[in-house]
Amino acid sequence: MGKGFYIGKAVGIVGIILCAGALATIIALSVVYSQEKTKSNNQVSPTAGGTTANPPVTPSPSNEPWDKYRLPKTLVPDHYNVTLWPRLTLNTTTGLYIFTGESSVEFKCAEETDLILIHSNKLNYTKLENDHLARLTSVNSGDKAPSIKYSWLQGVTQYLVLQLNGKLVKDHRYHLDTEFTGELADDLGGFYRSEYQEDGITKVVATTQMQPTDARKAFPCFDEPAMKAIFYITLIHNHGTVALSNGEVKESSNVTIEGHNVQKTTFEPTEKMSTYLLAFIVSDFAFINNTIDGVLIRIFAKKSAIAAGQGEYALNKTGPILKFFERYYNSRYPLPKSDQIALPDFNAGAMENWGLITYRETALLYDEKFSSNSNKQRIATIIAHELAHMWFGNLVTVKWWNDLWLNEGFASYVEYLGAHEAEPDWNVKDLIVLSDVHRVFAVDALASSHPLSSREEDIQKPAQISELFDAISYSKGASVLRMLSDFLTEEAFTEGLQTYLKRFAFGNAVYTDLWDHLQMAVIAHGINLPDTVKNIMNTWVLQMGFPVVTINTTTGVVSQEHFLLDPDSEVTAVSPFNYEWIVPIKWMKTGFIQEPQWLRSKSATIIEMKAPLTDWVLANLDVVGYYRVNYDQGNWNRLVDHLKNNHKLIPVINRAQLVDDAFNLARAKIIPTELALDTTKYLNQERDYMPWESALSNLDFFYLMFDRSEVYGPMQNYLRNQVTPLFDYYKNMTDDWSKVPDGHMDQYNQVNAISMACRTDLEECLLLSKTWFNQWRTTSENKIHPNLRSTVYCNAIAAGGAQEWEFAWTEFQNTTIAIEADKLRFSLACTKQPWLLNRYLEYTLIPGMIRKQDATSTIVYIANNVVGQSLAWDFVRARWSYIFTEYGGGSFSFSNLINGVTQRFSTEFELQQLEKFKAENSEIGFGSGTLAVDQSIERTISNIKWLTENKENVLNWFNTAL
Ligand X SMILES: *[C@@H]1O[C@H](CO)[C@@H](O)[C@H](O)[C@H]1NC(C)=O
Which residues are known to be catalytic? 386
**Between 218 and 624, whose beta carbon lies closer to ligand X?**
218
Neighbours of 255 (CB within 10 A): 10
Q: Does 914 bind Zn ion (CB under 5 A)?
A: no
With CB under 5 to 8 Å by kind, the binding choice for 94 among Zn ion, ligand X, none is ligand X
Q: Does 230 bind ligand X (CB under 6 A)?
A: no
Is residue 477 within 8 Å of 509, Cβ to Cβ? no
Task: Please report the sign of the dihedral spanned by the C-alpha atoms of residue 564, residue 568, residue 571, residue 575.
Answer: positive
Contacts with ligand X by CB under 6 A: the residue count is 16
**Between 98 and 110, whose beta carbon lies closer to ligand X?**
98
**Between 387 and 850, whose beta carbon lies closer to Zn ion?**
387
Is residue 908 within 8 Å of 531, Cβ to Cβ? no
239 in a labelled binding site? no
Q: Does 94 bind ligand X (CB under 6 A)?
A: yes
Q: One symbol per residue from 1 to 40: x for binding Zn ion (CB under 5 A), - otherwise; what is it? A: x---------------------------------------
**Between 155 and 355, whose beta carbon lies closer to ligand X?**
155
389 in a labelled binding site? yes
Residue 292 burial class via C-beta count within 10 angstroms: exposed 0-12, middle 13-18, buried 19 and up = middle
Choices 18-26, 225-233, 400-408, 864-872; region in contact with Zn ion by CB under 5 A: 400-408
**Between 48 and 802, whose beta carbon lies closer to ligand X?**
48
What is the phi/psi pair of residue 631, to 5°? -130, 170
State the virtual CA torsion across 461, 463, 467, 473 in degrees, nearest 10.
40
Choices 179-187, 482-490, 677-685, 868-876; region in contact with ligand X by CB under 6 A: 179-187
**Between 113 and 124, whose beta carbon lies closer to ligand X?**
124
Q: How many residues does the chain have?
A: 962
Least separation, in Å, of the C-beta of 350 and Zn ion?
Answer: 8
Choices 265-273, 408-416, 567-575, 901-909; region in contact with Zn ion by CB under 5 A: 408-416
Tally helices (H) and strands (E) across the chain.
29, 31
Closest CA to 164 of 130, 139, 127, 141: 130
What is the phi/psi pair of residue 225, to 5°? -60, -25
The residue within the footprint of ligand X, chosen from 65, 72, 146, 232 (CB under 6 A), is 232
Closest CA to 876 of 863, 889, 890, 891: 863
The residue within the footprint of ligand X, chosen from 183, 352, 403, 678 (CB under 6 A), is 183
CB proximity list for 364: less than 8 A, separation 6 or greater: 299, 301, 311, 314, 340, 341, 342, 350, 379, 382, 383
Is residue 557 within 8 Å of 545, Cβ to Cβ? no
Q: Does 182 bind ligand X (CB under 6 A)?
A: yes
The residue within the footprint of Zn ion, chosen from 204, 215, 382, 411 (CB under 5 A), is 411
Alpha-carbon distance 353 to 386, whole Å?
9
SS3 829: coil
Least separation, in Å, of the C-beta of 668 and ligand X?
Answer: 53
Q: One symbol per residue from 457 to 486: x for binding Zn ion (CB under 5 A), - otherwise; what is it? A: ------------------------------
SS3 98: strand
Is residue 33 within 8 Å of 888, Cβ to Cβ? yes
**Between 356 and 745, whose beta carbon lies closer to Zn ion?**
356
Q: Which residues between 919 and 948 bind Zn ion (CB under 5 A)?
A: none
Alpha-carbon distance 69 to 71, whole Å?
7
Side-chain-side CA neighbours of residue 394 (13 Å): 24
**Between 478 and 859, whose beta carbon lies closer to Zn ion?**
478
With CB under 5 to 8 Å by kind, the binding choice for 48 among Zn ion, ligand X, none is ligand X
408 in a labelled binding site? yes
Alpha-carbon distance 446 to 470, whole Å?
14
Choices 176-184, 335-343, 534-542, 688-696; region in contact with ligand X by CB under 6 A: 176-184
Closest CA to 342 of 241, 194, 185: 194
CB proximity list for 961: less than 8 A, separation 6 or greater: 677, 681, 718
Q: Does 348 bind Zn ion (CB under 5 A)?
A: no
With CB under 5 to 8 Å by kind, the binding choice for 411 among ligand X, Zn ion, none is Zn ion
761 dihedral zone (left: phi>0; alpha: psi -120 to 50; beta): left
Is residue 289 within 8 Å of 386, Cβ to Cβ? no
With CB under 5 to 8 Å by kind, the binding choice for 41 among Zn ion, ligand X, none is none
DSSP letter (8 states) at residue 221: B
Alpha-carbon distance 707 to 866, whole Å?
7
Q: Does 610 bind ligand X (CB under 6 A)?
A: no
The residue within the footprint of ligand X, chosen from 25, 103, 120, 124 (CB under 6 A), is 124
With CB under 5 to 8 Å by kind, the binding choice for 96 among ligand X, Zn ion, none is ligand X
Q: One symbol per residue from 233 to 272: x for binding ligand X (CB under 6 A), - otherwise; what is it? A: ------x--------------x------x-----------
Choices 87-95, 215-223, 280-288, 753-761; region in contact with ligand X by CB under 6 A: 87-95
Q: Which residues are annotated as a binding site for Zn(2+)?
A: 385, 389, 408
What residues make contact with Zn ion under the rule CB under 5 A? Answer: 1, 408, 411
What residues make contact with ligand X under the rule CB under 6 A? Answer: 48-49, 81, 91, 93-94, 96, 98, 124, 181-183, 232, 239, 254, 261
Q: Which residues are annotated as a binding site?
A: 385, 389, 408
